[in-house]
Structure 1
Amino acid sequence: MSAPRCAFNPPYDIHLLRGQSIELSNLLEIDGTDAPEYTDAHASIKYSFQTSFNASNNLKITGTLGNPTSRKPTYLLKLDAAAPADAKFQITSFLVYAIVTDTSDNSTSQAAIRIHVHKTIQKVWMTPDPITVYQGMAGARAAVYALFDDKVVAEIGDIYVGDNEEIVKYTITNKVQIKWKCTATPALINDSGRITPGNRSGNHVLSITVKYGSQTLNATGTVQLSDALSASQTTIKAELITSGNCPGFDKLNEVPNILFLAEGFTNSTAFGQLLDNYVSDLVSKKISSPFNLLKGSINYWKVFVPSREDGLTYRSVLEVLETEPNRMLGLRAKVATKPASADASTWTAENLLYFVGVPVRNDATVGNTALRLRWENTTKLTAAQLDELFGPTNGLVASWRSDAECRLPDAKDTAFGISVNDYTAVEQDGQYNLINFDKRRVQRDFLDGFLGSLKDTDNNLIGPVFVMDTPAGNRGKDFDNIIFLLVDGRGRAQNETGYMFSSVNSDSTITLMGTLADDQVSEVAISVPATIPLRKKGTITHELLHSFGLGDEYGEEPDDDAYKGKIITDPLVVNWPFTAYNDPAYYADEYSNVQPRKDFERPKTGGGTGTELDAYKIKWRYHRIQKCSLVTAVTTSGNEVLLTVKNPKAGFKVGESVFFRKRRVNRYQLRVFDKDMRVVADIVNPATLPTAFTKYYVKVKSIDAANNKLTIKSDFGTNQTTIELMPGQTSFFSVGQRLDIREKRVTDPIFTILRNPATTAGQPDTQTFLLSPELIIKSVAGNQVTAQPVGTATFPTGLSTLNPNEEMLLYAAVPVRDNQGTNQYKYAELIAKPILEYLNDNPFPLNANTTHEEIIDTDDIQNSTLPPKYIPCCSRRKKEIIGLYSGGMRYFGGVYHPSAQCMMHGYYLSPSDTKDKKEQLIELCAVCRYTLINLIDPTKFGDFDADYLTRKIYPDNLS
């Protein structure tokens, strides 16, 4: 076993002034749990702290371990008020390392955080300035940036993170005092900077006073109060996207509605043209099937909310280079990396940063002699390492100096204040670089008033379908289909509860206005492309598909390129968190295109230890369907069932074999997630929780395993409550663990899964699917179909009633070709009979290595070992054939997906990988297309099947 991973949370750089101190131990987490609580629960674990310099009174910086003999010491970092007079002892930034040790095997893990040391503040300003604040907001804030004496710019005051946390709880003594004022009455802003606009309008001047010690600095800024996002506004309308062939308002409550909102756009025409082009491609091109088959089944809406500035806010310090008059190129600062060797001749620039901190502007002119002397006294670099670094052929010191010019661009005043959560850090956490709401600006719940009153251009009220939280608790059926399109090209797209972020620009270049003489800089307006680049169209589509029940079929990018191609049991990767799926099988129940190994294992054929994959239990053995209708009523009597069909034109006939099954839509579930936003548990009771537990993070206070309960405490105030989980799920948690609770829309798989958790640890769950037995139609009269089971089969109990958020489908399956059906394969399925039988005889994924072992497979299009005899098309298309491939849900092994090539696995091909040497989007695989048909418009199953067969990737008749 290796020591558990540790991390500072958050890992962001911390800026301190001389005379301040900070307690760092309360920022340390081990395996996502507060370090002290984790240590209490694990007797072999201990941790400690070190700095990147050797202790010395000359440095005027002291790190003190509280309870140093304890396995869980505190750590107080103190900066003396007076800085060292001698330049060789002066530190402008350094690292603090946390070291976790497992005493059972002496293995260790390590994390680092960077501390910046400043003497004084020279200037402060508000950003953005002006800032737009909307009527009715409960509170908004601007940020305060400061220029320190060493020419470093950083945010001061309270730091906010993302859309699900309040202030970062730094324990700092002698905090900088920041007070805000405004002459408006009643008070527009309180002392701490909270803006409460009410129903006021107009521009108002804010004043800021910053005090530290004997220093006092002042600044002013402007707040612009707007009614653009108020529930009473009437000027902003929703428009149907003309290229979408939308059914319109009349079908609002029958079809899915997708709403695109503009963020960081100042030009409505440009926004509209981009969307018209994207939706046109979506509904008309093969590359996005089945949306071409679903024309008329989806409403695509666009809403333009104007921004004062183009782009979005980027909160990371940038290295800058002058490129043209009054322009600077901004480059993302390097991230420090611990070197694998103590030999400095093998180091990179990132390795050097792990020991010496970051340069400030004055360091660009410091000579080698003075710099070496400083590093001798302020770092732990050895004489041999210094000799190498300052040797005549080593360029790392010169490279380090060249990065001294850095700037922090001002925040942007955009419609929703969305930002890239990429605060500067020596080590990034798993959530960095995400496009996200900023806690100080607009939040998703605030938008419900605006969305709920939104009307189309004919003055029809459409907004209620997009509302996330109503007073009655009933969510709009399309609340999760809201897409914020950003003009900027930076940041990682994501799809969260009630909203999705994606950009329309592939250009991630950052250009700043100004010269190296400027301390305060802003970003040049982002250029809006004429059309959305193909790569970005793939990103938008991929993220959108998560809202329709499709899971990711790939693993996270490895920490090290050396991981690629390794078998998942290799010592190099075995302890990497994303090597193999070890979570409960039910985590994947909602997806139709991902399945854990735990769901389809069997004892090894011919005996022996261990298990192998049972191909006959593959999830995507979905019937190919030739005709289908929704069912509005079900009545069973004896061995007969009477079904009222919504679409009598489906053409069901007497004597025809049919099946019926459920389709779940708009179902909601309170779910518990870990710090990496992985599903951990479902909450059985209560059905709802106060916002203190769903809007902010919570921590586990105690565990009652016997009763399947957790007691949790909200990060907001002193709120505490108890939740009941599904049986056995409390074993996934530890006291002190940090969690997130959200009500998620759960789309569910093709077959409704009834799962009974295993009563014995390590054993698979038992599961059944709600699918009727084969039925024979006895009579058809209008919209009434009467049928009875073949033979002595009976109806599953769960199919006799329709519960809330459930619908029934009646369908006729496609027969097996040439009557070659078997007991295991009676009707044609998405996975062809020859492929299923091949996998039954060869029970391993088709992208395994030559010895059938699962590997870290990072290819966008995976290898396929399917023999040529099973390929009814050209070899180039064999990777579209439905089979079984390892990888999914961020993991590489122990979880599987249907095809080697799918947009949910990798959605872009470069020209070098395509036949016609043009960029190309990867298509959805047949299973993913089938899933969308099922959820959006099941009447299109026949069209889908015809389209599927024309692709000639279905081997149904092999000799």
Structure 2
Amino acid sequence: MNAPQPGFHPPYDIHLLRGQSIDLIVFLELDNTDVGTYLDNLDDDRSVSYRFFPSFIPSADLKINIKNDGTADRPSCLIELPKSAPIDSAFLINNFLVFVEVTDDTDPDDISIAQTAIRIHVHQAIQDVWVTPSPLTVYQEMDTARFGVYALFDDGVVAEISSLYTGDDDDDIDYSITNPIQLRWTSSTADLISADGDIIPTDDTDDHEVKLTMTYDTKTHTATGTVRMSDVLNAAQTTIKVREVANSESPGFARLMDVPNILFLPEGFTNADDFNRLVDNYVSDLISSKITAPFNWLKGSINFWSAFVPSRESGITHRATLDVRENARKAGDDGPSMQGTQPYNAEKPDDDDVMNWSFENLLYYTGYALKSDEELGDFHLRKRWENTTRLTDSQLNTLFPDLENNPDQPDMYDLVTLWKTFVDRRLPNAKDSAFGVMVNDYISFDRDDEYAAVDFDKRRVQRIFLDDFLEGLKDVHGNAIGSVFVMGTTSGDRGKDYANIVFLVPDTFGGREQNADGYLFTLTGDDGLVTLMGTLADIQVSAAPVKIPAKLSLLQKSVLTHELCHSFGLGDEYGETTPDDDYDDEVYTSSKVASWPFSKYRLPAYNTDDESNIQPKADFERPNPNKPNTTEIDAYRIKWRYHRTQKGSLVTSLAFAANKLTVTIKDARVTFAPGETVFLRKRRINRQVLRLKNIGHTKQADIINPETVPANYLSERATIKSINAADNKLTVTIKSAAQQELELVPGQTAFFKKGEQVRIRRERVSDPIQTIIRTPSTTGAPGDSIAVLLSPALKVESTGTGQVILSIPAGTLQTELTELHENEEILLYAAIAADGATAQYPYAELISRRILDYLNTNAYPLNANTNNEEIIDARNIQNSSLPKALVPCCSRRKKEIVALYSGGDEAHGEIYHPTAQCMMRSNSIVRKKKRQYVELCAVCRYTLINIISPAKFGKFDEDYMKRKIYPT
């Protein structure tokens, strides 16, 4: 059995001063659960233990004490730094790793070990502190805001010493450091700032000075900063106007409530023309078929809006410490002179032979170099590494060869030389941008799942704060545009387009773009570099203003489109990028990759119900006749067996009487004929749910009656105290409140266990094609019982103006399809007869009958290996084993044929998607040395038509057949 994966929460580097101590047990998690809670609830037949050890061999000379108290299988890890540093510099450690190794020896013949580490920096004193950004723009009506606080330590290292925002679950972490640094804030403006740094906005638009006093031991440093009050984001502001994006062919305010609305906002732009130019060019390309169908057919069915909110500074905040190099300057050039890149990350070597090591492997043993190491002689450096690392004499002999006396010895001096060159690091000041967006790229040994995510910094602006500003937005004609973008709550005051807000960010450093609940971020570039102002003599540095391109690159346009499509029911990446090439093509169940979070799909199957283009194996398993006690894929249960159609309209009302159903359709352009075969398909839209998730997001369930959950349960971690499976209830508790009972969807209590830590999140759920009614299996058989809100085949009896009358034999139509409630939509569409119809395949579907029959006989994904095993497949365009006989055109289009491929929702195994290439997997590819767009696949195109404008189904189907990717 695989050992649980250890991790530190948060995983970021910890900076300690001499005289401080910290116990790392507070941060340790196993499989994203507090280590104590995990072990307390371990199954009786499991044997799991862990141990801590540092990257050096403990010695009194090092003046670093590590105490492992507790029981043998549950030790703590108390790190104590005596006030005095080692007298002999050969014992001086500036930064080191503490490893945690977890062992599962339940089966003595199959012992499993997992490992991670956290980096500790050791400093003697602080030399300076400052607050950033300054000025800091704080908006009226905000609850609170905070500066960042940066410190320069005596060894030249700069680090943030205020509370950290974490990327994985929004907690402010209390590091519980003994003898902590004291920070005290004051201001001449009464009640402006609390002693611990919370800024309370006033109703003016003035500048106010604040003072920070930092004390440690007997030394004190002070810093000042400016709070700039602003009314720019007030509900009553009238300066910022919404405009229709130029040449977007938007239907405008008259159809605000009838069509999707997309709002572009700038973050880190100082010039409106730069922002408007990029947005106008992108939308123009999107609707003119230069990026991907079906947006060219959907022009006139989407409103594209933008509003310019200026930033005081260009760019956004990165929390990254950077390796920096000074650029050569031309004569008379006084501009930016430093280039910054992400520091190399330590990596455990595959073997002990130094000759096979990379620079990252050396860092695993030695830690980062400091400026003082740049001129350190080899004799002294070797002596230090003998005392402060676990490098062996043999390894040190290879790193520091005696070539004079041993001329045949391999020369590894370049590795040590390289180590000495990476000594200059800087932490750029935060940016005073309009919305305070940051990138969560703090330096760490082991990067968490949310590493480098672009997101709001909760110390500054948060998405929910923007509601008043958004609701008050008007266009240049005075029309109230903003109400559709309000995030609101689950109680019903949420705008229908609240998730369609695009923040365009002028950044090229490589933050991870994302589509979150209520907003998405996309960048103007991504080259992994940042230019810094000043020279290497400067400690306080800022990133230079970002050069705004004339237009977004092809790559960034496709990234933006990819992210936008998530808002319309299209699933996430079809497989996460692998950590290194050794993962590629491994069978996803092999021990080499089994512990990797993305090796297989680990969420409940129903998690994909609101995404049209991915499906977990659990939903279409059947017993494998050739391998007892195993399952295989049942192709007839593939999700994307959606009916092809050339016409459809949403329904505004239904009236049932005397075995006749009178359907009033919304789109008068769509006409149905007597005798046509039609279907009714229902989907539930824009529903607000409270979703319970474990910390690693590998389990989730929906809470019934969300209004019974107190608000503070949405802001803290909770622990499951008891489970009542019979009544579908959990009892949970949080630190700040009494325990709370939660009722879950029937069967979903089985996902969790007592003692597990969970979070409650508010999410929007929409069904892009049709609503799935799922009943968890209670018999032990694989898969849930699944039904969809889809009618049987119906006949049109007659038609009238805007009405279609259907004959409905008694008892043949589900009640749900004769009623239309709030947050529901029903589509009426005409079916296309199948070519060579069968009982299993009476009407044409997005997946060809020939493909379906092939997959039912060859029950494995088409990108499986030669043994038909699912693999870790990180290719931009996947391989396909589809026989040539089933390819109606040339092989280049083979990978556009709708079939079945492994990978989905970032995982590689036990989850599937329709085609070998699609924009939702890879935004673009290089073909013949030229970058090209990858279009959306047929299933994704169909989804967008279905959810945005069903009247365009004819355009889609005509195009689908012209592409010659449909085997008939």
Which stretch shifts more, 844-853 or 822-831? Answer: 844-853
Task: Name the CA shift for 1:164/1:189 in 2 (closer, same or farther; >3 Å).
Answer: farther
Task: Name the CA shift for 1:322/1:582 in 2 (closer, same or farther; >3 Å).
Answer: closer
User: Which of the numbers 325, 335, 346 marks the counterpart of 2:356?
Assistant: 346
Which stretch shifts more, 47-56 or 540-549? Answer: 47-56
Contact 2:338–2:535 (Cα < 8 Å) also in 1: yes
Amino acid at match of 2:303: N
1:337 aligns to 2:360 (yes or no): no
User: Using the alignment, how far apart are the partners of 2:669 and 2:161 within structure 1?
Assistant: 66
User: Using the alignment, how far apart are the partners of 2:136 and 2:721 within structure 1?
Assistant: 40
- What's 1:866 paired with? 882
- What's 2:788 paired with? 769
Task: Name the CA shift for 1:160/1:572 in 2 (closer, same or farther; >3 Å).
Answer: closer
Task: Name the CA shift for 1:538/1:674 in 2 (closer, same or farther; >3 Å).
Answer: farther
Task: Name the CA shift for 1:792/1:158 in 2 (closer, same or farther; >3 Å).
Answer: closer
| Residue ranges of structure 2 left out of the alignment (5+ in a row) | 330-335, 404-410
- What's 1:94 paired with? 96
Which digits, 9 at most, give the CA deviation of each residue in 1:291-341, with x for residues without a partner? 111111111111111111111111111111111345111111011111121
User: Which of the numbers 641, 646, 667 marks the counterpart of 2:687?
Assistant: 667
Amino acid at match of 2:956: F
Which digits, 9 at most, give the CA deviation of each residue in 1:371-410, with x for residues without a partner? 1111222222221121122225112221111111111111
User: Which of the numbers 460, 479, 482 marks the counterpart of 2:501?
Assistant: 482
- What's 1:327 paired with? 337
Which stretch shifts more, 143-152 or 798-807? Answer: 798-807
Amino acid at match of 2:514: Q
Which stretch shifts more, 687-696 or 365-374? Answer: 687-696
Partner of 2:961: helix, strand, or coil? Answer: helix
The within-5 A match list for 1:410-429 is 410-429=429-448
User: Using the alignment, how far apart are the partners of 2:492 and 2:788 within structure 1?
Assistant: 30
- Using the size of structure 2 for normalisation, the TM-score is 0.95
Contact 1:38–1:735 (Cα < 8 Å) also in 2: no
Task: Name the CA shift for 1:582/1:521 in 2 (closer, same or farther; >3 Å).
Answer: closer
Identity over aligned pairs, percent: 51
Q: What's the CA shift for 1:66?
A: 1.9
1:929 aligns to 2:941 (yes or no): yes
The within-5 A match list for 1:143-158 is 143-158=148-163
1:877 aligns to 2:882 (yes or no): no
- What's 2:594 paired with? 574
- What's 2:147 paired with? 142
- What's 2:275 paired with? 271
User: Using the alignment, how far apart are the partners of 1:926 and 1:655 within structure 2?
Assistant: 29
Partner of 2:374: helix, strand, or coil? Answer: helix
User: Using the alignment, how far apart are the partners of 1:679 and 1:287 within structure 2?
Assistant: 36
- What's 2:64 paired with? 61
| Residue ranges of structure 1 left out of the alignment (5+ in a row) | none
Which digits, 9 at most, give the CA deviation of each residue in 1:887-920, with x for residues without a partner? 11112121111111111111111143xxxx5321
Q: What's the CA shift for 1:171?
A: 1.1
Partner of 1:172: helix, strand, or coil? Answer: coil
Task: Name the CA shift for 1:605/1:48 in 2 (closer, same or farther; >3 Å).
Answer: closer
Q: What's the CA shift for 1:743?
A: 1.8
Which digits, 9 at most, give the CA deviation of each residue in 1:606-648, with x for residues without a partner? 7855332222211111111122121122233354322122234
Contact 2:168–2:449 (Cα < 8 Å) also in 1: no
1:808 aligns to 2:826 (yes or no): yes
- What's 2:800 paired with? 781
Contact 1:549–1:746 (Cα < 8 Å) also in 2: no
Equivalent pairs counted in the alignment come to 946
- What's 2:579 paired with? 559
Which digits, 9 at most, give the CA deviation of each residue in 1:547-577, with x for residues without a partner? 1101025111223312211222333223433
Task: Name the CA shift for 1:637/1:473 in 2 (closer, same or farther; >3 Å).
Answer: closer
Which digits, 9 at most, give the CA deviation of each residue in 1:64-96, with x for residues without a partner? 1222x3422222111101112111122111111
1:376 aligns to 2:386 (yes or no): yes
User: Using the alignment, how far apart are the partners of 1:918 and 1:24 within structure 2?
Assistant: 50
- What's 1:455 paired with? 474
The within-5 A match list for 1:778-927 is 778-789=797-808, 794-817=812-835, 820-912=836-928, 918-927=930-939
Which stretch shifts more, 596-605 or 235-244? Answer: 596-605
Which digits, 9 at most, give the CA deviation of each residue in 1:224-254, with x for residues without a partner? 1111111121101111102211011111111
Which stretch shifts more, 655-664 or 158-167? Answer: 158-167
Q: What's the CA shift for 1:192?
A: 1.0
1:13 aligns to 2:36 (yes or no): no
Which stretch shifts more, 145-154 or 640-649? Answer: 640-649
- What's 1:942 paired with? 954
- What's 2:676 paired with? 656
Amino acid at match of 1:183: S
Which digits, 9 at most, give the CA deviation of each residue in 1:99-147, with x for residues without a partner? 2222324432212111111111111111111111111111101111111
Q: What's the CA shift for 1:813?
A: 1.2
Task: Name the CA shift for 1:130/1:704 in 2 (closer, same or farther; >3 Å).
Answer: same
Contact 2:621–2:782 (Cα < 8 Å) also in 1: no
Task: Name the CA shift for 1:736/1:315 in 2 (closer, same or farther; >3 Å).
Answer: farther
Partner of 1:108: helix, strand, or coil? Answer: strand
Task: Name the CA shift for 1:299/1:164 in 2 (closer, same or farther; >3 Å).
Answer: farther
Task: Name the CA shift for 1:877/1:809 in 2 (closer, same or farther; >3 Å).
Answer: same
- Using the size of structure 1 for normalisation, the TM-score is 0.96
Task: Name the CA shift for 1:354/1:492 in 2 (closer, same or farther; >3 Å).
Answer: same
Partner of 2:361: helix, strand, or coil? Answer: helix
User: Using the alignment, how far apart are the partners of 1:420 and 1:275 within structure 2?
Assistant: 22
Amino acid at match of 2:371: R
Which digits, 9 at most, give the CA deviation of each residue in 1:157-177, with x for residues without a partner? 322225952421201011111
- What's 2:453 paired with? 434
The within-5 A match list for 1:281-680 is 281-285=285-289, 287-325=291-329, 327-391=337-401, 393-394=411-412, 395-469=414-488, 473-489=492-508, 490-604=510-624, 610-677=630-697, 680=700
The within-5 A match list for 1:158-197 is 158-162=163-167, 165-185=170-190, 187-197=191-201
Partner of 2:247: helix, strand, or coil? Answer: helix
Contact 1:834–1:870 (Cα < 8 Å) also in 2: yes
Amino acid at match of 1:99: E
Amino acid at match of 2:638: I
Which digits, 9 at most, give the CA deviation of each residue in 1:645-693, with x for residues without a partner? 2234411111221111113221222112333445621112434633322
User: Using the alignment, how far apart are the partners of 1:310 and 1:368 within structure 2?
Assistant: 44
Q: Which runs of 4+ in 1 moved over 6 A?
A: none
Contact 1:4–1:109 (Cα < 8 Å) also in 2: yes
Contact 1:654–1:778 (Cα < 8 Å) also in 2: yes
User: RMSD between aligned alpha carbons?
Assistant: 1.9
1:52 aligns to 2:55 (yes or no): yes
User: Which of the numbers 62, 79, 82 marks the counterpart of 2:84?
Assistant: 82
Contact 2:136–2:227 (Cα < 8 Å) also in 1: yes
User: Using the alignment, how far apart are the partners of 2:259 and 2:898 within structure 1?
Assistant: 29
User: Using the alignment, how far apart are the partners of 1:192 and 1:834 within structure 2?
Assistant: 68
Q: What's the CA shift for 1:792?
A: 8.3
Contact 1:634–1:800 (Cα < 8 Å) also in 2: yes
User: Which of the numbers 73, 76, 79 marks the counterpart of 1:71?
Assistant: 73
Task: Name the CA shift for 1:747/1:35 in 2 (closer, same or farther; >3 Å).
Answer: same
Partner of 1:242: helix, strand, or coil? Answer: coil
Task: Name the CA shift for 1:166/1:603 in 2 (closer, same or farther; >3 Å).
Answer: closer
Amino acid at match of 2:193: I
User: Using the alignment, how far apart are the partners of 1:372 and 1:537 within structure 2?
Assistant: 51
Partner of 1:776: helix, strand, or coil? Answer: strand
